[in-house]
Amino acid sequence: MNDTDRKLGPTILKVESISLAFGGVKALTNISFEVKQHEILAIIGPNGAGKSSMLNVINGVYHPNAGSITYKGNVRQQMKPYEAASQGIARTFQNIALFKGMSVLDNIMTGRTLKMNAGFLAQCLHIGPARNEEIEHRKKVEEIIDFLQIQSIRKTPVGRLPYGLQKRVELGRALAAEPELLLLDEPMAGMNIEEKEDMSRFILDVNDEFGTTIVLIEHDMGVVMDLSDRIVVLDYGKKIGDGTPTEIRNNKEVIDAYLGVSD
């Protein structure tokens, strides 16, 4: 059902010949692929293959040594994190990167930062624009809280939450930015089956309802095959496969390098 009833748009992101090295370690070598609007693209590969590095290049946390990134028609040598955020790219991290000392609500509210613009003085006095803005954005955040079914923990400091819920809150923070392109780094790692099912449903709903383009890294092949429109396979920093789930399942090189070994 994946491929048939979906309407993919034009290319939103195109990375070309990206290479990235840390000292002698070649994390990425000459990687190129495209992501179409409204697509769910999965990046798979064994540990250390360069998957997280690839996401870091896309939203500007790492700067590649070579190659280019074309996002929404603009070609760049590299992204900057702030620029990526303001252009509609949001993400979650493999090792949860929430703001530990803040409540769930405040964490998700930070996702609205770029949409808020009340002046400094108004904020000091909490008058007019500042107060209205807080309320207006709080409404949006409450919608996300409802969507992710985390109403009961909205005032809890995130540091006290179990791992699975933290992953959910981190997704919430990314969604609060209303991104066009959402990068998810192992959103289901360490979860039990039920939590994985919830998370899969959230991802599909986000893609469906808001039309968000999603690039996700995931190890669970069952989940990957179910969710994604297309799969890019990395191994030792090189791309060894790119295609629909069916194509990847039958790709000899991929089976040898990865699928055969893992499940």
Partner 1 sequence: MFYREAGQFKTSYKADQAVFPIFQDKIFVAIWLFIGFVVVPMLASEYMFRAIFIPVIIMALAAIGLNLLVGYCGQVSLGSGAFMAVGAYAAYNFMIRVPELNPLICFLLGGLSATVVGVIFGIPSLRIKGFYLAVATLALQFFTDWTFSRIDWFTNYTPSGSIAVQPIEVLGVVFDSPIRKYFLCLVFLVIFTIIGKNIVRGRIGRAWMATRDMDVAAEIIGIRPVYAKLSAFAVSSFFIGVAGALWAFVHLGSWEPLAFDINLSFSILFMVIIGGLGSIVGGMLGAAFITLLPLFLNQLPVWLGINISTAMISHLEFMIFGALIIFFLAVEPLGLARIWQITKEKLRLWPFPH
Residues 92-111 contacting Mg ion, CB under 5 A: 94
Binding mask of the shown chain, residues 33 to 52, with x at each position contacting partner 1 by CB under 8 A: --------------------
For 187, list phi and psi in degrees, rounded to 5. -65, -15
Contact 174, 91 (CB under 8 A): yes
Sign of CA dihedral 104, 110, 116, 120: positive
Closest CB to Mg ion among 18 and 141?
18
Give least dist CB 241 to Mg ion, A.
18
Q: Show the CA angle centred on residue 114, arms to residues 74 and 154, nearest 5°.
A: 130
Stretch that binds partner 1, among 9-17, 18-26, 99-107, 236-244 (CB under 8 A): 99-107
Binding mask of the shown chain, residues 49 to 88, with x at each position contacting partner 1 by CB under 8 A: ----------xxx-------------------xx-xxx--
Give CA torsion, residues 146, 147, 150, 155, to 10 deg.
-50
Residues 44-83 contacting Mg ion, CB under 5 A: 52
Give CA torsion, residues 82, 83, 87, 93, to 10 deg.
-50
Contact 249, 259 (CB under 8 A): yes
Q: Is 181 helix (H, G, I), strand (E, B) or coil?
A: strand
Q: Which residues bind ligand ADP (CB under 6 A)?
A: 22, 25, 27, 45, 47-53
Q: Which residues bind Mg ion (CB under 5 A)?
A: 52, 94
Q: Which residues bind partner 1 (CB under 8 A)?
A: 59-61, 81-82, 84-86, 90-91, 93, 97-102, 106, 109-111, 113-114, 116, 118, 120, 123-126, 130-131, 133-135, 138-139, 142, 173-174, 177
